[in-house]
């Protein structure tokens, strides 16, 4: 039985906040297209946005932690795990979570996949965003990597647990084996920007 995307987001936020709290007790970074909104959320620094993390191996191929319609490299020390009971959001379902905690960050790269169809990457991503509750100021851009054309969105997200909106990102591509959305969240905008090199690595090494 599929779990609602909103309920899963609520549960993930609670778990993330708990992890952050426990960590504290232990002492413990393309131009927007013409259809983009001008008041998009503040972007990460140019340095962070242009940095690619060191690869720690790839996922997506048969026999990897998550078998996907695409392959891409994970950042060093990040770990991937398949989702047993995938919730859906728009036309895609969550099938893989790449965890940043082993690398010292609080957040995930989440991979969503859908069946093959006639929609292009922009339509898939817009449908995904239509089901992203509490999202605003979305700014879309296009990219090409590994012979695959895709669309990326940067937006502001605010939940009931957030004092202020935080930046999140997602990208979408379509392949003969189905559509793929890769999403990067984070505990807050600072963590999101710190994990951007992992998102850039995934985008620039993505192949159908």
Instruction: Identify the H or E element spanning 48.
Output: helix 46-49
Q: What is the pLDDT of residue 111?
A: 98
Residues 109/198, Cβ–Cβ less than 8 Å = yes
Residues 148/208, Cβ–Cβ less than 8 Å = yes
Please count the other Cβ atoms lying within 10 Å of the Cβ belonging to residue 153.
25
Q: How confident is the model at residue 176 (pLDDT cuts 50, 70, 90)?
A: very high
Bridge partners, 93 (sequence order):
88, 113
| Position 36 pLDDT exceeds 60 | no
Residues 83/94, Cβ–Cβ less than 8 Å = yes
Please count the other Cβ atoms lying within 10 Å of the Cβ belonging to residue 63.
5
Q: What is the pLDDT of residue 146?
A: 81
Q: What is the pLDDT of residue 118?
A: 87
| Position 24 pLDDT exceeds 50 | no
Q: How confident is the model at residue 160 (pLDDT cuts 50, 70, 90)?
A: confident
What count of Cα atoms within 13 Å lies in the side-chain half-sphere of residue 138? 21
Mean pLDDT of 165-172: 96
Residues 93/110, Cβ–Cβ less than 8 Å = no
- Joined together, the tokens standing for residue 171 give 């990208």
SS3 for 41? Answer: coil
Q: What is the pLDDT of residue 62?
A: 95
| Position 42 pLDDT exceeds 50 | no
Q: What is the pLDDT of residue 133?
A: 86
Contacts of 34 (CB under 8 A, 6+ apart): none
Instruction: For each of the domains in the chain, give its residue range(s) and CATH number, in order of start.
Output: 5-205 (3.40.1000.10)
Mean pLDDT of 117-135: 94
- Given the DSSP bridges, would you call strands 108-114 and 135-145 parallel, antiparallel or unpaired? unpaired
Closest CA to 188 of 155, 154, 165, 160: 165
SS3 for 62? Answer: coil
**Backbone angles phi and psi of 164, in degrees to 5:** -145, 160
| Position 143 pLDDT exceeds 50 | yes
């Amino acid at each position: 039985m599929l779990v609602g995307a909103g309920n899963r987001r609520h549960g993930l936020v609670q778990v993330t906040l708990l992890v952050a709290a426990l960590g504290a007790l232990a002492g413990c970074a393309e131009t927007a297209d013409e259809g983009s909104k001008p008041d998009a959320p503040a972007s990460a620094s140019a340095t962070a946005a242009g940095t690619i993390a060191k690869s720690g191996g790839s996922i997506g191929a048969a026999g990897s932690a998550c078998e996907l319609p695409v392959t891409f490299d994970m950042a060093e020390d990040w770990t991937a795990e398949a989702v047993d009971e995938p919730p859906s959001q728009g036309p895609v379902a969550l099938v893989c979570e790449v965890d940043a905690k082993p690398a010292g960050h609080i957040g995930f790269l989440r991979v969503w996949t859908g069946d093959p169809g006639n929609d292009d990457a922009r339509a898939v991503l817009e449908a995904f965003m239509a089901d992203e509750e509490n999202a605003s100021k979305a700014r879309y851009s296009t990219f090409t990597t590994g012979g695959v054309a895709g669309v990326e969105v940067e937006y502001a997200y605010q939940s009931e647990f957030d004092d202020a909106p935080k930046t999140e990102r997602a990208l979408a591509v379509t392949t003969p084996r189905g559509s793929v959305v890769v999403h990067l969240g984070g505990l807050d905008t600072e963590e999101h920007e710190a994990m951007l090199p992992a998102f850039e690595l995934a985008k620039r090494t993505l192949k159908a």
